[in-house]
Amino acid sequence: MQKISKKHKLAAGVVLTGAALLALTYWRSANKEIVEKVVASDITPIQKASATTPDAAIYVRDVSIEQSSNKIQAAQQLKSLQRYGNTTQGLGVQFKQATHAKMNYRFGQKKPTTFAPVAFGAILPKQFVLTGRQYEGKPNATGAYGSLYRLFEYPETKARIEIFETQLSADAPFERVIELQNDQIADTPVLLEQFTDKKGLVYYSVAIIIADKFYQINTKAVEKQVVIELLEKLIVLSKQTKQN
């Protein structure tokens, strides 16, 4: 079971509950600790697949703010989202690890993951190229990582896209706070946030769960329609992969 660090955990209106009560609410954009904290051995699963239906794995459960394990914080996040268009009233740690990821991509070794990473190069606009990669959290017993960070840049502009892809576990399903999902893409709930920096550049942050994957996608100087199209393609690709 892979840990999600704090950089995602406050990004998508999701709360992981259990004996440890880690309160992994990831509705705050790209917070710095998500991948390291998605898994804890003392977490009691909310729900597991039935022994009679082993394929019915459950990775997420939708709850209201009143039902969530962190009602006060969820309510504050919703108020900020409604007023400012984001849950933090300003940029957080978007792209803070880009430099390190670029160095790691250039000089580091490629490492195994517990999942087949999405081929984002095939669904991103062709102008974007992979310039950074970093493995998140701690490797499992076989040395495989459960979360992967990738940075894509458009060399001729200031446009950047960073993507965290993290595998979830049916052993500890997530609570997704319904009120914090402010959009739907292809019938999939999404938290879509907008920010503007001091120079007037627009950022978008997206948190979305597709099947057994959590994605945190942050963009800089990228048109909203490009973000929407990326999500649509990601959902279609994920469904095709699952069917195959």
What's CA 120's distance to the chain center, in Å? 14
Q: What is the mean pLDDT of residues 69-95?
A: 93
172-195 core/surface letters (b: 16 or more CB in 10 A; e: else): bbbbbbebbbbeebeebbbbbbeb
- 25 or 141, higher pLDDT: 141
Which pLDDT does position 25 carry in this prediction? Answer: 36
CATH at residue 182? 3.30.200.100
Which pLDDT does position 46 carry in this prediction? Answer: 32
Asked, for residue 233, whether it belongs to a domain, the answer is yes
Tens digit of each residue's pLDDT (9 = 90 or more) over 36-73: 334 332 222 333 333 333 456 899 989 999 999 889 99
Asked, for residue 117, whether it belongs to a domain, the answer is yes
Asked, for residue 121, whether it belongs to a domain, the answer is yes
> Residue 17 pLDDT more than 90?
no
* Bridge partner list, 130: 152
> Residue 100 pLDDT more than 60?
yes
Asked, for residue 116, whether it belongs to a domain, the answer is yes
Asked, for residue 81, whether it belongs to a domain, the answer is yes
The residue segments making up the domain with residue 37 are 6-243
Q: What is the mean pLDDT of residues 205-234?
A: 97
Asked, for residue 1, whether it belongs to a domain, the answer is no
> Residue 188 pLDDT more than 80?
yes
Asked, for residue 63, whether it belongs to a domain, the answer is yes
Which pLDDT does position 123 carry in this prediction? Answer: 96
> Residue 15 pLDDT more than 70?
no
Q: What span, in angstroms and rounded, lies between the C-alpha atoms of 159 and 171? A: 38
Mean of all residue pLDDT scores within the chain: 81
**What is the band of 118 on the pLDDT scale with cuts at 50, 70, 90?**
very high
> Residue 150 pLDDT more than 80?
yes
Question: Domain total for the chain?
Answer: 1
Supply 139's token pair: 């490797």
Which pLDDT does position 57 carry in this prediction? Answer: 84
With helix as H, strand as E and coil as C, how does the chain read? Answer: CCCCEHHHHCECCEEECCCCCCCCCCECCCCCCEHHHCCCCCCCCCCCCCCCCCCCCCCEEEECCCCCCCHHHHHHHHHHHHHHCCCCCCCCCCCCCHHHHHHHHHHCCCCCECCCCCCHHHCCCCCCEEEEEEEECCCCCCCCECEEEEEEECCCCCCEEEEEEEECCCCCCEEEEHHHCCEEECCEEEEEEEEECCCCCEEEEEEEEECCEEEEEEEECCCHHHHHHHHHHHHHHHHHHHHC
- 39 or 125, higher pLDDT: 125
Q: Any idea which of 33-42, 135-144, 157-166 has the lowest mean pLDDT?
A: 33-42
> Residue 215 pLDDT more than 50?
yes
- 53 or 212, higher pLDDT: 212
Supply 228's token pair: 């929407």
> Residue 31 pLDDT more than 80?
no
**What is the band of 202 on the pLDDT scale with cuts at 50, 70, 90?**
very high
Distances (CA, A) of 93 to 28, 132, 147, 225, 234: 10, 16, 18, 23, 24
